[in-house]
C-alpha cells in the first residue's frame, strides 16, 4: 500500500533505507547523501507491504521545478521487488498529486540509454509510463553520465481520464473565470449525440445569489462551497422512429465536461442520483433557473478548485473487466 509521508525524519529514514540498498544506482556516497537530505523537504510517497509495516519497499519524491512542472526528484524500489508494479503505483500516486494541484508537466532526469545496463532498465521504465524524450544534456552531471531529460504532459485526454475522480470535498473560495466555464461547456456540447440531435443543453451558474438558491434545495447538502455549477438539461426527442438517445447524449456531454474540468485544474462530481430521486430536487432547480417544460434537469456538476485532498476509489482489475477477442480471452 502507498502512504503519503508527512514527517520529515520519516522521509529521511525511508530514503536512506531504500537508497543504501540500491548501490547500482546510488553508489556515490556524496550524491546519495544529497538525495537523502534533500528528501526531507519534498512531498514523498512510499510503498509498504501492508498497513502496519514500517519498512518501505520503495519511495518517490517530487520537487517543483517551475510553476507548471514537478520533477521526480528521486525514486527507488528495492531490487527484490522490481517487476511487481510498485514503481508504477508510486508514479500513479505522484501523477494524481500533480494533476490535482494543477501542474501541466512532470519531468524526470536519468542517465541516457546505452551507457549502463541498470540505467537502460530505468529508461525503459520511464518510457513505459509514457514519458517522452525531451533532451540530452551531455555534461550537466559529467561526461560519463550524460543526462537524459524525460517529460510528460498532464494535460492530455488520457491523463485527464486517468486522474479524474469524483470530488465531494470542499472547494476553495476562488471564482472560476468565465473563459474556463465556457471551455468546459464547449467540451460538453462538442460531445457526440445520436443522429446529431443535440438533445443536451447547459446552464452555467456562477452568480452567487443563484448558486445560493440552488445550494439551498440540495438536501442532503452537497457542493455547498462550489463557486460555479453547470446544470445539465436534456430534451427527450427521438433520434429516429421511436429511438431516443437523450440519456446517451447527456452522458457523453457530462463525461466530456468532467475531463475538461480536470484538465483545467478544477474538480467536480456527477450529481445525478442525488437530484433525480423521488424528492425531485431537479424540478426545484429547473424552477429556480426558469427551465422550459420540455427540458429535464438531469445532473449538476460543481466546478471549483479542491480545498481538500482526495483519493481514487477502488476499481476492479483491468483483467476482470476487459477481455481480448472473446469472453474466454485474457
Ligand X SMILES: Cc1cc2nc3c(=O)[nH]c(=O)nc-3n(C[C@H](O)[C@H](O)[C@H](O)COP(=O)(O)O)c2cc1C
**Residues in touch with ligand X (CB under 6 A):** 165-166, 168, 269-274, 313
Q: CB neighbours (10 Å) of residue 224?
A: 13
Name 259's Cβ contacts closer than 8 Å, sequence gap at least 6.
157, 160, 161, 164, 187
Cell numbers 431516443: residue: 244
Contact 18, 77 (CB under 8 A): yes
Contact 303, 232 (CB under 8 A): no
In this complex, which beta carbon is closest to ligand X, that of residue 193 or of residue 268? 268
What φ, ψ does residue 267 adopt, rounded to 5°?
-130, 160
DSSP letter at 307 equals S
Contact 76, 122 (CB under 8 A): no
From CA 230, how far away is CA 191, in angstroms rounded?
15
DSSP letter at 267 equals B
From CA 317, how far away is CA 329, in angstroms rounded?
15
In this complex, which beta carbon is closest to ligand X, that of residue 209 or of residue 320? 320
Helix (H) or strand (E) holding 296, with range, is strand 296-303
In this complex, which beta carbon is closest to ligand X, that of residue 272 or of residue 296? 272
Here the cell at position 107 is: 519531468
From CA 278, how far away is CA 199, in angstroms rounded?
24
Q: Is 281 helix (H, G, I), strand (E, B) or coil?
A: helix
In this complex, which beta carbon is closest to ligand X, that of residue 69 or of residue 248? 248
Least Å distance, CB 282 to ligand X, is 11
In this complex, which beta carbon is closest to ligand X, that of residue 228 or of residue 258? 258
Least Å distance, CB 91 to ligand X, is 19
Name 52's Cβ contacts closer than 8 Å, sequence gap at least 6.
none
Least Å distance, CB 168 to ligand X, is 6
Least Å distance, CB 315 to ligand X, is 7
In this complex, which beta carbon is closest to ligand X, that of residue 131 or of residue 167? 167
Least Å distance, CB 270 to ligand X, is 4
Least Å distance, CB 166 to ligand X, is 4
What distance, in Å, lies between the first and last C-alpha atoms of the chain?
26
Least Å distance, CB 64 to ligand X, is 26
Least Å distance, CB 169 to ligand X, is 11
In this complex, which beta carbon is closest to ligand X, that of residue 111 or of residue 298? 298
In this complex, which beta carbon is closest to ligand X, that of residue 11 or of residue 165? 165
Amino acid at each position: 500500500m502507498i502512504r503519503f509521508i508527512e514527517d520529515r525524519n520519516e522521509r529521511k529514514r525511508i530514503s536512506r533505507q531504500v537508497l543504501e540498498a540500491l548501490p547500482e544506482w546510488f553508489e556515490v556516497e556524496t550524491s546519495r547523501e544529497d538525495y537523502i537530505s534533500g528528501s526531507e523537504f519534498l512531498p514523498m510517497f512510499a510503498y509498504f507491504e501492508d498497513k502496519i509495516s514500517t519498512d518501505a519497499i520503495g519511495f518517490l519524491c517530487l520537487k517543483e521545478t517551475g510553476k507548471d512542472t514537478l520533477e521526480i526528484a528521486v525514486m527507488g524500489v528495492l531490487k527484490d521487488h522490481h517487476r511487481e508494479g510498485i514503481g508504477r503505483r508510486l508514479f500513479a500516486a505522484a501523477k494524481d498529486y500533480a494533476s490535482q494541484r494543477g501542474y501541466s508537466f512532470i519531468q524526470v532526469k536519468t542517465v541516457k540509454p546505452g551507457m549502463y545496463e541498470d540505467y537502460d532498465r530505468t529508461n525503459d521504465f520511464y518510457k513505459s509510463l509514457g514519458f517522452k524524450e525531451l533532451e540530452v544534456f551531455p555534461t550537466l552531471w559529467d561526461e560519463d553520465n550524460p543526462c537524459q531529460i524525460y517529460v510528460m504532459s498532464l494535460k492530455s485526454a488520457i491523463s485527464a481520464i486517468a486522474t479524474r475522480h469524483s470530488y465531494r470535498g470542499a472547494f476553495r473560495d476562488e471564482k472560476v473565470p468565465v473563459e474556463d466555464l465556457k471551455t468546459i461547456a464547449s467540451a460538453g456540447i462538442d460531445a457526440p449525440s445520436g443522429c446529431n440531435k443535440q438533445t443536451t443543453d447547459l446552464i452555467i451558474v456562477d452568480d452567487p445569489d443563484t448558486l445560493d438558491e440552488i445550494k439551498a434545495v440540495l438536501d442532503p447538502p452537497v457542493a455547498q462551497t462550489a463557486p460555479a455549477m453547470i446544470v445539465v438539461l436534456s430534451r427527450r426527442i427521438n433520434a429516429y422512429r421511436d429511438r431516443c438517445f437523450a440519456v446517451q447524449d447527456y452522458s457523453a456531454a457530462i463525461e466530456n465536461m468532467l475531463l475538461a474540468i480536470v484538465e483545467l485544474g478544477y474538480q467536480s462530481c456527477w450529481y445525478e442520483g442525488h437530484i433525480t430521486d423521488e424528492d425531485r430536487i431537479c424540478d426545484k432547480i429547473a424552477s429556480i433557473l426558469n427551465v422550459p417544460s420540455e427540458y429535464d434537469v438531469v445532473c449538476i456538476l460543481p466546478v471549483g478548485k479542491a480545498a481538500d485532498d482526495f483519493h481514487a476509489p477502488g476499481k476492479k482489475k483491468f483483467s476482470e473487466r476487459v477481455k481480448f477477442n472473446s469472453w474466454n480471452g485474457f
